[in-house]
Amino acid sequence: MAAVSMSGRRALYNWRIYLYVLPSLGLILTFCYFPAISAVVRSFFEWQGGDYMQFIGWENYTNAFNDPVLRSSFVTISVLIVAGIIKMVPSILLAVLIHRIASDRWQYWYRVLLIIPMVVPDLVNIFIWKFFFDPNLGLINASFDLFGIKSALVWLDQHVLHWSAFRPDSPISWLNEPRLIIPSLIFWGFPWIGAMSVYIFLAGLQSIGAEVYEAAELDGASSWQKFTKIEFPLIMTQVRLNVILVVIGTLQGYGLQYLLLGPAGGPAGRGMVPGLWMFNRAFIAGQFGYACAIGMMLFLIIAVLTYFNNKYIRVEK
Amino acid sequence: MNTPHPTAAAAIRKRELPKHTAVWCILSLQLLPLYMMVQMSVKNNTEFLLNPWFPTAPAQWNWANFAYGIKLIGPYLANTVFIATLGALLTLFFAIMAAYFFARYRMPGHNLLWSLFITLMLLPGVANIVPLFTLLKSMNLLNTLWALIILGFAGGQVFNTFILRNFIEDLPKDLFEAAEIDGASHWQQIINVVIPMSAPIIGTLFILSFLHLWNEFMMPLIILSDAQLFTLGVGLIYLDGEYVKQWGQIMAAFLVASIPLIMIFLFCMKLFVRGLTSGAVKG
């Protein structure tokens, strides 16, 4: 449907149409744009959250650049971002597998099974994983013992890593051992299937007609070739989109770290990420102005990434 | 339709089997947390230590875990249902109106307004949290459930407007013209044309908004300080720190926290799968 164009007098006569967008507009101006702009302003002030504010210029930013915690938190988040991108692989594979199944009925049931875990609220899911990580009762240690993975890790630790984090005589304490914090944050959620991403990939795969597969089969294409030559190029748009979402989501996320490790980022602060540090500075240390500056830095990084993404990677809609 | 030759059918089955096995392996790992939660919710700690993996016989189930779980999080549940339901309804209310404006007409200022909306989908919200906190404080909304509802629909409507605009633009023009000839106002066109025609997508978006609000825990943690107003998220965070761990009871509380979502999925599963499959969220 082409939209009805209106201009000048006719638009003036039909001014009531604006009433339909005004409430939404008012809401986003008040609750999205106004806070964003005031964050810019307040990042130049020393501000404890009360009425009193003192202008200090760039001091919050220079402090941020010299803040060792913030610096190491950016290293941590970079590792988590790379891991997050790699963790998309199972979702892609699962989407391709489901797409290749001949029976429509089974495809439907697998889609249903895929969204069933969504009934568990995110927070509850994180808490269940926190329990899985428990050194004495947790399932991870139990299954690692069962499959002999623990002895492999102990060997690896003694001969290669020299972390002394995996010891033969004591259970692995995933969330209490500084060296294991980042591995735990990465391993969390195994096998890392995002129901929504799988659906998005499946929507992309649906555009491949049966005749494409038939032609590939006649040419004697192996299933790996079908994946690299047909399926993966067709979902490239969705994959890129997902990469962007993962990068942006990981950069601004800190709920997971908060729930698993607490507001200080766990033992030795190894799980500290920039978002959590912002939260920590504002609501625990009371340095609201400094927290705004950290927020602005994150904001700028994400804005630049989004800009380059839109400019150089064309995502056709 | 003719049935395939028996040997051909067997060949197909043989070719399909590895795929099915792989899918089942992945999906069963994915379903493991849910399975563990359900089977642990009726065990006490001793039973769990003896037998962590498999369910016990129904005769031994400790229903008392659930009584305890409901007592722990019942009040939080009510608060969260209130926020998620009202928040999701209002999200769609505002999104449908805005989408109608953008899809139906090109008014002066259309492009500027649209870019105000679309920019928000790209801009990170992380920098907002601190000033948002003081904004709510100055509006006297701190420590209220309304703060969470308002934030929910103010931010949530943007994504929904984006999806609905595309959908409304694809509706046949004749429907709107016929309605206009019959003298329908804009509001009547929304009620009688837009909502019935886009019911499946509205349903899917409602569920997504509801899930989003249900899952939120960082904002409630910052905004709410009164134990009476806690949402599930905040309540569970405090529980996690406070209690001597009786895992069965905690899992029962987790399961109770999931019940409203289970209900929604039971009733709307078909609609939801269809809505997502047809590309409601192509991104």
What percent of chain B is modeled with pLDDT above 90? 29
B141 CB contacts (<8 Å, ≥6 apart)? Answer: B147, B150, B223
Task: Name the one residue in this structure whose structure tokens are 């995933």.
Answer: A174
CATH class of B59-277: mainly alpha
Q: Report the predicted TM-score, pTM, of the whole model to 2 decimal places.
A: 0.87
Residue B260 has a pLDDT of 85
Q: Of A32, A101, A199, which is closest to B155 when you measure between CB atoms?
A: A32
Which chain A residues are closer than 8 Å to B276 by Cβ?
Answer: 111, 115, 196, 199
What pLDDT shows up at residue B270? Answer: 78
Higher pLDDT, B248 or B121: B248
Cβ pairs bridging A and B (under 8 Å): 285
Put simply, the answer to whether A298 touches B124 (Cβ < 8 Å) is: yes
> Which residue in the set A3, A193, A282 is minimally distant from B104, CB to CB?
A3
One digit per residue, pLDDT tens: chain A, 317 residues? 567 887 778 888 888 888 999 999 999 999 989 998 888 898 999 888 777 888 988 999 999 999 999 999 999 999 999 999 999 999 999 999 999 888 889 988 998 899 888 889 888 999 999 999 988 888 898 888 888 888 888 888 888 888 877 888 888 888 888 889 999 999 998 889 988 889 889 888 888 877 888 888 888 888 888 888 888 888 888 888 888 888 888 998 899 999 999 889 888 889 999 999 999 998 898 888 999 999 999 988 988 888 887 776 654 44
Q: Does the pLDDT at position B266 exceed 60?
A: yes
Residue-wise pLDDT for B30-64, tens only, equals: 999 999 999 989 888 888 888 888 888 888 888 88
Q: Is B113 on the interface with A (CB under 8 A)?
A: yes
Residues A183-222 as b or e (16 or more Cβ within 10 Å = b): ebbbbbbebbbbbbbbbbbbbbbeebeeeeeeebeeeebe
In chain B, pLDDT over 70 holds for what percent of residues? 93
- Whether the CB of B191 is below 8 Å from some CB of chain A: the reply is no
Whole-angstrom distance, CA of residue B274 vs CA of residue A198: 14
The B residues from 119 to 148 touching A (CB cutoff 8 Å) are: 120, 122-135
pLDDT digit string, tens, across residues B212-255: 999 888 889 989 988 888 998 888 888 887 656 788 888 999 99
pLDDT reading at B277 higher than 80: no
Query: In the prediction, which pLDDT does B1 show?
Result: 43
pLDDT band at B91 (very low <50, low <70, confident <90, very high): very high
User: In this complex, do A295 and B277 lie within 8 Å of one another by their Cβ atoms?
Assistant: no
Question: Do B116 and A25 lie within an 8 Å CB cutoff?
Answer: yes
- Check pLDDT > 80 for residue B29: yes
pLDDT reading at B126 higher than 80 = no
Q: Provide the sign of the torsion angle of the four alpha carbons B217, B218, B219, B223, taken in this order.
A: positive
The C-alpha torsion from A279 through A280 and A283 to A285, rounded to 10°, is -150
pLDDT of residue B278: 65
Mean pLDDT of B127-133: 84
Residue ranges of domains in chain A, CATH in brackets: 63-133+174-312 (1.10.3720.10)
* Mean pLDDT of all residues belonging to chain A: 87
Report the relative pairing of strands A53-55 and B105-106 from DSSP bridges. unpaired
> Which residue among B122, B123, B254 sits closest to A128, beta carbon to beta carbon?
B254
| Chain A CB within 8 Å of residue B64 CB | no
pLDDT grade, residue B166 (50/70/90)? confident
**Is B161's CB within 8 Å of A116's CB?**
no
Mind telling me how many Å the CA of B167 is from chain A's nearest CA?
10
Kindly identify which residue of chain B lies nearest to residue A300, measuring between CA atoms. B124
What does the alpha-carbon distance between residue A109 and residue B135 come to, in Å, rounded to a whole number?
A: 47
Q: Do B108 and A7 touch (CB under 8 A)?
A: yes
**Whole-number Å distance between alpha carbons of B83 and B145:** 7
Is B150 in CB contact (< 8 Å) with chain A? Answer: yes
**ipTM of the complex in this document:** 0.86
Q: What is the pLDDT of residue A219?
A: 87
